[in-house]
Amino acid sequence: MQIIQVASELTPIAKVGGLGDVLMGLSRELEWKGHDPLVIIPFYGVINADQLKEDGRKEWFETFPYGKSLKASISFYRVNGIRIGLLDTEDGYFRKRRTIYGDGDEITCFILFARAVAEWILATQRSPDVIHAHDWQTALLPALCRLYDHEKRLAKVRYLFTVHNFEYQGFCHGHDLERVGVHPDSFGTLLQDPERSCLNLVKAGLLSADYTTTVSPTYAHEVVEGIEARGLKTIVHSIQDRFEGILNGVDYSYWNPEVDHFLVERYAAHQGARVVLEAKRNNREVLSHQIGIPFRPEKPFIASVTRLVYQKGVDLLHNLFSRAEEFDIQGILLGSVPDPRTERLFAELDTKLRSEGRGAIFLMSDEPFAHRVYAAADLFVVPSIFEPCGLTQLIALKYGTTPIVRHTGGLADTIIDIDTPSASANGFCFDSPDDTSLNEAFCRALKHLREPVVREEVMLRGMLQDFSWHKPCNRYISLYQS
């Protein structure tokens, strides 16, 4: 099958969070299973050309965003073996962007992107089997393809839409679309938000795709129940027979301590617990020197790698790390996208932790650094208020770092509390999004670290559990074909 995946992120060339990982992981698995995926993203200025392997081809076409023709192109490359196409316009609109999100013109940027992708598919007379759009940035793609397809050449295409987070729906107004020549009236009431007096791109995606997925079964249930639907409950109910949650996978050719070139010492579960713990200790020693904190291997080492936003339980993280001395632990937190207040708060925490010799906070996004953190830590904290899937707890498992998570969304689908009689138990869970509940789970985790036999067994079990793309990809393939 020919599958065109369209999104705003792709790991490693344009990554902000899990979306980029999903695009790369799912595409690689599709290719391994004999399909023909092609990922299209904008040619952002932040893309590092060194990571691209040129395919040599470039296709020119015309787009009409401003009432007149604008030349645009898709340049083809390979990244990690996957075919990708980068969309560029002659006026350099995407290349001029300094960040993927947050330049203040996101709606216009991604409507232009979706419109140009639709025009490219039609101009080059492609007829893929599937067009798979991801999140609000590309939610309008199915409707745009149908609108521009006067000759009904795409009549047999199957349109899939995946919502990675219902928090972000692409709220906008008519003038945002008209700025790039897309007239909301062309779609009737498709774009009208059901509760607010604005337009809603995700709503349009839900109603125009043939099938919609989100990224874990429990989150899908929470959306259907209205807990996480963010105003789209009635819309989701109207498509309930073509809506489901498929758990994201992890790309183990990339997130795997056995082959991870960012680590000073690689390791694998089959080497046994002693070797794994020794390698983790060595990774911790080097990391501690690199980041300028004392190496104290006798102290439990906790970590978090996250976007520092409300969703991720930012206050809970702050309070937990603040108490490092009291808990007699060390900690490292790598957090991106802070607002100025959060940035200040965590910068102060960094000063406190460093002065106590208890750890450090890094306010940035750094992929190689993230790999080293997963490998060095003993415990990994994910106290999300809500969580569509969550990849960090799954990556932590693979790196032998026991997760402590709040029981919600995809975290509830993947982490089973050690203090339950399950043979798959792999971490610690807590229910309420408050400090008391987190502290209770955290204290149980510290106690667990002091019981070497159980600890080693749970660590190796987590490393061996299969959260790869194999099963989820099979489900996507059957949805593509049905």
Compute the least distance from the CB of residue 450 to ligand ADP, in Å.
28
Residue 305 interacts with ligand ADP (CB under 6 A): yes or no: yes
- Rule CB under 6 A: is residue 392 a binding residue for ligand ADP? yes
The footprint of ligand ADP on residues 188-207 (CB under 6 A) is none
**CB neighbours (10 Å) of residue 114?**
27
The Cα–Cα gap between 37 and 17 comes to 21
* Closer CB to ligand ADP, 25 or 85, in the complex: 25
Smallest distance, Å, CB 58 to ligand ADP?
30
Is 108 or 248 the residue whose CB approaches ligand ADP more closely? 248
Residue 134 φ/ψ, nearest 5 degrees: -125, 125
How far apart CA 223 and CA 105 sit, in angstroms, is: 28
Chosen residue from 73, 271, 365, 465 binding ligand ADP by CB under 6 A = 365
CB of 399 to ligand ADP, least distance (A): 11
Is residue 306 a contact point for ligand ADP (CB under 6 A)?
Answer: yes
Output 72 or 333, the one with its CB closest to ligand ADP.
333
Among 3, 5, 10, 21, binds ligand ADP (CB under 6 A): 21
- What pairing do the DSSP bridges indicate for beta strands 301-307 and 330-336? parallel
Q: Which of 450, 431, 415 is nearest to 327 (CA)?
A: 450
- Gap between the Cα atoms of 161 and 166, Å rounded: 13
CB of residue 12 vs ligand ADP: minimum separation in angstroms? Answer: 10
Using CB under 6 A as the binding rule, whether residue 253 contacts ligand ADP is answered as no
User: Length of the chain, please?
Assistant: 482
To ligand ADP, the closest distance from the beta carbon of 361 in angstroms equals 11
Residue 427 found at the interface with ligand ADP (CB under 6 A): no
Q: Torsions phi, psi of 396, nearest 5?
A: -55, -45
Nearer of residues 108 and 165 to ligand ADP, judged by Cβ: 165
The Cα 133–Cα 154 span in angstroms is 15
Closest residue to ligand ADP in the complex (CB): 18
Q: Residue 203: in which H helix or E strand, if any?
A: helix 201-208
Note whether 391 binds ligand ADP by CB under 6 A. yes
Out of 25, 249, 313, 335, the residue judged to bind ligand ADP by CB under 6 A: 335
Q: Which of 366, 419, 431, 451 binds ligand ADP (CB under 6 A)?
A: 366
Mind giving me the DSSP string for 164-193?
A: S-TT---EE-HHHHHTTT--GGGGTTTTB-
First to last CA, the chain: 12
What is the C-alpha separation between 169 and 165, in angstroms, rounded? 8
Give the binding site for ligand ADP (CB under 6 A).
17-19, 21, 305-307, 334-336, 365-367, 370, 389-392
